[in-house]
């Protein structure tokens, strides 16, 4: 008899998952952050080059994150808020990836990015247990691990180092950089680390600032046991800059043979209307739960994970 009907996670883990979900909500309740629900299906998708929507013909796209709709709520006057719900990313299946996964997305008004990072660390302590946390800029990480100077951006050095580290099929500096950051993270011997100050071309929807004459993105990633858990921004509020970044995404998309995506006009209008100053973060909740339970794969905490053939 085939066992394909059975859940991928055992029932005990799913019961534990329910407790963790409850604790997560309690954390926000105690801090008076409002739980919201937005739609997983929307007419528009994202232009992000490295993220593909699941398309629903005739309806639009399953959302890769609730970011746009939650920011529309903020623009309409919603106070600090969070959401726990499914997000979808086409083509992402593996030990730590599932096309449909659970995202915790939250926005806080009137906090700095450092304060939001402290809150992410506190939530992690609350769910997983306390551990010391290290903060490093991306430039420090690359310099400490590979003696590479991020600001000099010597393309040949980056490509040579990535090749030595085992990467094949490198097209450009961005490929090498993405790979080197993740292999440097894997080599870190600290359990929890915040990476900050991303190169400005990897700002996504974060604000950028000049530091020592270099433009850096006010963005962080939170890595636990070598696994990326959260990605946070000091949120971009400039609609002209937003449009410029979407256009440059679409240019890169076309260059890579990907379909350009229309810019979400509702989100664009909300930004033009005015987004409050805020910081926001997306947390891969299934991963965090797997770490809290000491499980080696997402399929151990998801009732029905996509089976890898």
| Rounded distance between C-alpha atoms, residue 208 and residue 192, angstroms | 25
Question: What are the distances in angstroms from CA 11 to CA 17, 267, 269, 297, 298?
Answer: 10, 40, 45, 16, 14
> Pattern of binders to another protein over 32-71, x per CB under 8 A?
----------------x-xx--------------------
Instruction: Rank residues 48 and 108 by Cβ distance to another protein and give the closer one.
Output: 48
**Strand (E) or helix (H) holding 42:** strand 41-42
| Options 3-11, 53-61, 87-95, 122-130: segment touching another protein (CB under 8 A) | 87-95
Tokens 């739960």: give the residue.
289
Q: What are phi and psi of 268, to 5 degrees?
A: -60, -45
Q: Which stretch binds another protein (CB under 8 A): 6-14, 113-121, 168-176, 235-243?
A: 168-176
Out of 108, 221, 235, 286, which residue is the one contacting another protein (CB under 8 A)? 221
Q: Could you give the string, one character per residue 226-255, with x where binding to another protein holds by CB under 8 A and - elsewhere?
A: --x--x------------------------
Interaction pattern, residues 8-27, with another protein; x per rule: CB under 8 A: --------------------
Residue partners of 99: CB distance under 8 A and separation at least 6: 54, 88, 89, 90, 91, 92, 93, 306
Start-to-end CA span in the chain (Å): 18
Q: Of these, 202, 260, 263, 268, which contacts another protein (CB under 8 A)?
A: 202
CA dihedral 146, 149, 179, 198 (to 10 degrees): 130
Under 8 Å CB-to-CB from 37, ≥6 apart: which residues? 83, 85
Report phi then psi at 82, rounded to 5.
Answer: -135, 165
Count of residues binding another protein (CB under 8 A)?
A: 32
Look at residue 136 and give its three-state secondary structure: strand
Q: Minimum distance from CB of 229 to another protein (Å)?
A: 10
Q: Considering the complex, what minimum distance in angstroms separates the CB of residue 195 from another protein?
A: 10
State which residue, 175 or 268, has the beta carbon closest to another protein. Answer: 175
Residue list 98-117, contact with another protein (CB under 8 A): none
Q: Are 78 and 34 in contact (CB under 8 A)?
A: yes
Report in angstroms how near the CB of residue 164 gets to another protein at its nearest.
11
Is residue 181 involved in binding another protein (CB under 8 A)?
A: yes
- Choose, by CB under 8 A, the member of 39, 43, 131, 182 that binds another protein: 182
Query: Residue 11 contacts by C-beta under 8 Å, 6 or more apart in sequence?
Result: none
Point out which span in 7-15, 104-112, 150-158, 180-188 binds another protein (CB under 8 A).
180-188
State which of residues 56, 111, 167, 214 lies at the interface with another protein (CB under 8 A). Answer: 167
Q: Which residues contact 290 (CB under 8 A, 6 or more apart)?
A: 296, 297, 298, 300, 301
Per CB under 8 A, 282 contacts another protein: yes
Judged by CB under 8 A, which of 100, 140, 160, 178 binds another protein? 178
Q: Which residues bind another protein (CB under 8 A)?
A: 48, 50-51, 91-97, 165-171, 174-175, 178-179, 181-183, 202, 204, 221, 228, 231, 282, 284, 309
């Amino acid at each position: 008899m085939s066992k394909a009907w059975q859940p991928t996670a055992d029932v005990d883990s799913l019961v534990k998952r329910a407790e963790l979900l409850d604790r997560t909500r309690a954390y926000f309740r105690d801090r008076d952050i409002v739980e919201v629900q937005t739609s997983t299906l929307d007419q528009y998708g994202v232009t992000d080059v490295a993220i593909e929507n699941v398309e629903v013909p005739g309806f639009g796209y399953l959302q890769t994150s609730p970011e746009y709709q939650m920011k529309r709520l903020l623009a309409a006057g919603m106070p600090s808020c969070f959401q726990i719900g499914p997000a979808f990313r086409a083509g992402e299946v593996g030990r730590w990836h599932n096309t449909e996964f659970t995202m915790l997305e939250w926005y806080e008004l009137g906090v700095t990015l450092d304060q939001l990072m402290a809150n992410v660390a506190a939530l992690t302590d609350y769910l997983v247990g306390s551990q010391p946390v290290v903060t490093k800029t991306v430039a420090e990480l690359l310099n400490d691990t590979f003696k590479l100077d991020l600001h000099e951006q010597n393309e040949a050095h980056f490509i040579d180092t990535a090749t030595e580290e085992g990467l094949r099929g490198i097209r450009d500096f961005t490929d090498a950089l993405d790979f080197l950051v993740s292999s440097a993270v894997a080599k870190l011997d600290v359990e929890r680390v915040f990476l900050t100050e991303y190169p400005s071309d990897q700002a996504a929807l974060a604000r950028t600032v000049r530091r020592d004459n270099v433009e850096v993105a006010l963005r962080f990633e939170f890595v636990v046991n070598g696994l990326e858990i959260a990605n946070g921004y000091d949120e971009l509020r400039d609609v002209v800059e937003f449009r410029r970044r979407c256009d440059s995404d679409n240019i890169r998309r076309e260059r890579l043979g990907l379909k350009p995506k229309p810019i979400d006009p509702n989100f664009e209008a909300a930004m033009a209307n005015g987004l409050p100053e805020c910081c926001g973060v997306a947390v891969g909740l299934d991963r965090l739960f797997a770490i809290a339970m000491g499980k080696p794969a997402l399929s151990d905490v998801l009732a029905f994970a996509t089976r890898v053939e």
